[in-house]
Amino acid sequence: MSHNRDAWVSQRAYSLWESEGRPEGRGESHWLQALKEFEQLELTKASPDGNDLIAKLKAAGRLMRIYDEPVPEVENERQRKAAL
């Protein structure tokens, strides 16, 4: 994992350096910024199949399936058509 992190941070730091016009003496700040970005990405990373996110949403009661509860707009449209 460390090798992947270092490779990502190195490439991102280089990209930051290039985007700023290749200034001298900014290597450490670019590296630190890239490292911070990597850490933020790792915090928001879901599992490859998304199971961890689904489990978290279920636990919070925020995951609903389309058949669990009718969508109000659809129900209102049905009622309007029935009245015609």
Break the chain into its structural domains and give their ranges: 1-45, 48-84
Confidence of residue 75 (pLDDT cuts 50, 70, 90): low
Tokens representing 79 are: 């009622």
Report the percent of the chain where pLDDT is more than 90: 38
Task: Kindly report, residue by residue over 44-64, the tens digit of the pLDDT.
Answer: 776 667 777 777 777 777 655
Q: 3-class DSSP state for residue 48?
A: coil
Give the chain's mean pLDDT: 78
- CA separation for the pair 74, 9 (Å, rounded): 48
Average pLDDT over residues 21-43: 92
Q: In this predicted model, which residue has the larger pLDDT, 68 or 15?
A: 15
- CA separation for the pair 20, 32 (Å, rounded): 15
Within 10 Å of residue 8's Cβ, how many Cβ atoms? 16
